[in-house]
Amino acid sequence: MSDAPGGRLARGYARLVVALRWPIIIGWVAALAAALVFLPGLGGSAAAPLSDIVPSDAQAVRTQERALQLFGSSVATDTVAVERNPRGLSRAAVEAQLRAADAANRTRGIRAAAPLLNVPLPGVRWRERDTTIVTYLFPASDLNLDARSSAARAYLATLPPPSAGTTRGISGAGPARLAQWDEIDKALPWMEAATILTILVIVALYFRSVGAPLVTLATAGLGYVVAIRALAWMGEQTGNGVPNEIEPVLVVLLLGLVTDYTVFFMAETRRRLRHGATRLEAARWATARVAPLVFAAGTLVIAGALSLLAGKLHFFRVFGPGLAVAALVVTLVCVTLVPALMGAVGPWLFGSSVRAEQASAAAAGSDPVDPPSPTRRFVRRLPTAKPVAAIVVVACAGLLVLAALGARTISLSVSFIPSLPPGSEPRQIAGEAAQGFAPGILAPTELLLESPGIGGQLDALARLQVLYAREPGVAAVLGPAQTGRDAPVGVVTSRDGGAARLVMVLRDEPTSSAAIATIRRLERRTPQLLRQAGLPRGTHASYAGESALSAETVDALLRDLRRVVVVTAILTFVLLALFLRALLAPVLLLAGSVLAFAGSFGLMSLLLPSVLGTHDVVYYVPLVAAVMLVGLGSDYNVFIAGRIRDETHRRSLRDAVAAGTSSASRTITVAGVTLAATFALLALVPLLPFRELALLMSLGVLVDALLVRSVLIPALIVVSGRASWWPRAPTPRPAEP
């Protein structure tokens, strides 16, 4: 049996869980029924579109609030109405828009509306002329996304029907995120069905039976429903609504994890049955051998999920505990229900051939499996020679490092609108606005300038406006050059004269990596531009708007990434050290996980332009993938390292590595292929972050299962020798009966 910590305890647990198999099965069925009846279903957060992803101390938010205080208004909004006719808008259409905007405060839920027509303005050249009008809508701040969308639709309903050739609709970050949720809701049933079918096919082919995939699906379905309901209940109790973006990831993660763990149990049970064990003996053996490994792997996944709490972004602080709760439920299901099912129906899961082998071995009183031939034994032992293993380590590590270099081409973005499929309304309407004005027109950037008496320095402000308009990435700047000296107080200058503002329209979509790069460059250039314009020293400049907020979000993500990676590494090392009772082996396993993620991320970066047509990676994809891949890699870490350590009690190190790798690699391969296939099904959600996650997670799981765990880790253990298990190397012990 496994040389896991508490081996005697594991054997006692195995006897107990198999003895109580029927109460356990009935108990989990009752838990499923109770979850369906008494616990809520998972629902998405209805918060404002950026409220759960931006840093709580975002400077861009403070700047927007300061502008509202000083000017009584702000250009920042997440909801925009757009009307465009490429042949030109009629005078009647423009007047209707102006009347509607003037009466906007009488539309329920809309406090104000600010229209902008692409007419010629001093110092500004739009892409088109007199074809497009964008109206910035300012819904009541207490409305959720659904209510804001309804208010925007009500505003459009006050307009006369559009003329032939005119496109009219709603766009902006708010409608874009609502559209993302709609796409998730539409794709989720198809993704669930495809995941179930994939698991059925792969498990059926591996075990060559009908019973094994049915048990896998029953276990996965039960674990998924209970975990999702528990997660929704936890969200209600804590007041933290779970974002809709989590559910597709949880579907494939939960179903994939349960499948992994169930395959481990069933493979070991089948092996013992073929050796002639009875149904209960095989179930007890498999439970004692696999349950500690599954418990260890589940604990590592939970620890990795909780490490997200080291980040400060709300999205991760919700996703982390949610993932941990889901992993906890899955682990409990797998270490109780699966052994109980193995004890209840073991031989009947694997077809008549396994039952025939079981009967033959039992009658003969010996193992029916022939020992490997000298040639096969030589082939298995060849990679365990130190010189060969050293070459394997250098080759694998070099290949993964080389692949990781591809990540240099990646840029991070927030990308609400570009993440949508081309046919969605917010993306189509955003395209119309970009054609008439510039891509940044939906979410202009507000530059707030504060200095005593700055409101009276219109000439210097006009010079600053010209300087900004010349900067790369800036399409237009609105300010005193357009309003003139007779502009009403509160438009360009504040009522007290101590503040002024410019409004910039960027050349790129406001939440894209290009727009983020432009904002960062402008922030660096601001002191020099203020001096060139002749504004007084000490003028304070700050930026508001979605581009500035997106830049801060990406910066916060990078800070979170550093913290989370350190915490994840520490937790993973400590837990691996406890489970393996060694200090060097956990370092080797952790190094393998880091190389696996780095190489996979680099490969994804190289494939991204040709597969998805972009270099942008949505900001949360790398961190979510890193935590999940390190956690999921722990399954294979614990499984293969535990097998090798177990074999060292009975064999030389070379034979232990050969035997442990051989017995574990096929199961790991099947589990890895299944998990990679389920993650690939995330691509059925037609949103950029899910397709990026699908690509990265599929590559990561395959690299981990097929290269790192099956090839690199055994080679590292061979190179380091018995020192891998320092300070407590395994000692020989009698074979288990």
**CA-atom Rg of the chain in angstroms:** 31
Percent of the chain with pLDDT over 90: 41
Q: Which pLDDT does position 729 carry in this prediction?
A: 65
264 within a domain of the structure (yes/no): yes
From CA 415, how far away is CA 618, in angstroms rounded? 7
Residue 5 — pLDDT band, cuts 50, 70, 90? very low
490 within a domain of the structure (yes/no): no
Residue 53 — pLDDT band, cuts 50, 70, 90? low
**Which residues form the domain of 239?**
1-38+209-280+314-370
646 within a domain of the structure (yes/no): no
342 within a domain of the structure (yes/no): yes
Q: What total number of domains does the chain contain?
A: 1
Task: Give residue-wise pLDDT tens across range 459-483.
Answer: 999 999 999 999 999 999 998 877 7
Residue 48 — pLDDT band, cuts 50, 70, 90? very low
Q: Which pLDDT does position 374 carry in this prediction?
A: 63
The predicted model gives 406-417 an average pLDDT of 88
From CA 691, how far away is CA 421, in angstroms rounded? 11
* Residue of 590, 621, 618, 588 whose CA lies nearest to 715: 588
From CA 384, how far away is CA 375, in angstroms rounded? 15
Render 201-246 in DSSP notation, one character per residue. Answer: HHHHHHHTSSHHHHHHHHHHHHHHHHHHHHHHHHHHHHT-PPPTTH
Residue 49 — pLDDT band, cuts 50, 70, 90? very low
Q: Is the pLDDT of residue 666 over 50?
A: yes
From CA 651, how far away is CA 641, in angstroms rounded? 15
267 within a domain of the structure (yes/no): yes
289 within a domain of the structure (yes/no): no
Task: Give residue-wise pLDDT tens across range 627-665.
Answer: 888 877 766 777 788 778 777 777 777 777 877 777 677
Task: Give residue-wise pLDDT tens across range 93-136.
Answer: 999 999 999 998 777 889 889 999 999 888 888 999 999 999 99
| Sign, Cα dihedral of 358, 363, 367, 370 | negative
Q: Is the pLDDT of residue 245 over 80?
A: no
Q: Which pLDDT does position 561 carry in this prediction?
A: 87
Mean pLDDT of the chain: 86
Q: Which pLDDT does position 516 carry in this prediction?
A: 96
Render 368-388 in DSSP notation, one character per residue. Answer: -SPPPPHHHHHHHHGGGSHHH
Percent of the chain with pLDDT over 70: 91
432 within a domain of the structure (yes/no): no
22 within a domain of the structure (yes/no): yes
The predicted model gives 423-446 an average pLDDT of 95
The predicted model gives 527-546 an average pLDDT of 93
Which amino acid appears at position 657 of this protein? V
Q: Is the pLDDT of residue 410 over 80?
A: yes
Q: Is the pLDDT of residue 511 over 80?
A: yes
